[in-house]
Copies of this chain bind each other. A is one copy, B any other.
Amino acid sequence: MDKVCFGIDVGGTTVKLGLFNLDGKVLDKWEIITRTENNGEYILQDIADSLKLKMKEKSIDKSKVAGAGIGVPGPVKADGTILKAANLGWGVFNVAKTLENLTGIKVKAGNDANVAALGEMWQGGGRGCKNVVMVTLGTGVGGGIIIDGEIVAGTNGAAGEIGHIHVEDDETEVCGCGKKGCLEQMASATGVVRLAKKAMEVSDMPSSLRNQEISAKSIFDEVKAKDSLAIEIAEKFGKYLGTALCNIAVVTDPEVFVIGGGVSKAGTILLEYIKKHYDMHAFSACKSAKFTLAKLGNDAGIIGAAKLVL
């Protein structure tokens, strides 16, 4: 049997696990429950047990396992130390070393958003590139910075927290982080709805948006139907996100921006509005950056985690 590796993506309710060959082909995929009781003290033991069971089931000898990568929802330093994972009840400890001791397998750990970015670089929207910025437009706005094929973790595990780029001086509402005017307040799933509601309030322009549930998807569907108010909202969203990406570009100069998360279900029209404003404001040398949609969906986490150890 050829060598294999594991990719593990720890979420607040389930842990996703995958078995891969060293080319990144998924051989098996399964989930276990995330037991968060007692400050999440059973989680890594449950994962270790599940890996051992899978190895037994598939008759995989430990010598054939190249390693296991694990993505966790919190800031992780380059050495595998997690600094906090409120969802799981975890404080500070070395996730990689702990799981390594429980399994006898080489383990590497990373932040889940960063690990998903690595997955998209390897097999998704960033395929073929080594300098990638992943932008996840979900409940919040997360990100992952990949330079020369490696995750940038940062001194405090906070690299890629691009949802907290400051984009609006005149914002009066407070972001979840305590600051005002963060990108997350404009471009997350709730952020874009907030932009829409504000636009509907200050304008009396008729719009199909007034008669339906508002979401990123419905806004961009109305953009396609040439609804003027929806277009105005899309422009605003594009300006905030596009100029924020310009600011990232002059820091790390990526080859591609990969846009994922629930908001990205609006499709390629979303990219058009981001790219339009990026092109308007980008530093000349960075204008060639590409924009793609994420391709791996919920599998980005296990695929990126597997890549961590390869």
Contact = CB atoms under 8 A, between A and B. Distances in A.
Most B CB atoms within 10 A — which of A160, A165, A251?
A: A251
A247 to B, nearest CB: 5
Contacts of A131: 154-155
B255 A165 contact: no
By secondary structure, the A interface counts as loop
A254 interface: yes
A152 interface: yes
Contacts of A249: 158
Interface in A161-219: 161-166, 169, 177-179
Interface hub of A83, A156, A163, A169 (most chain B Cβ within 10 A): A156
Contact of A250 (B164, B246, B250, B255): B164
B252 A179 contact: no
A134 interface: no
A274 B57 CA distance: 59
A159 interface: yes
**3 shortest interchain CB distances as A-B pairs:** A154-B253, A158-B285, A159-B253
13 contacts: A78-B148, A154-B254, A155-B255, A156-B285, A158-B283, A158-B286, A159-B251, A161-B253, A161-B283, A165-B247, A177-B283, A251-B251, A252-B252
Given A166-B246, A179-B281, A251-B252, 7 more contacts: A78-B148, A131-B155, A145-B251, A152-B252, A154-B253, A161-B283, A247-B247
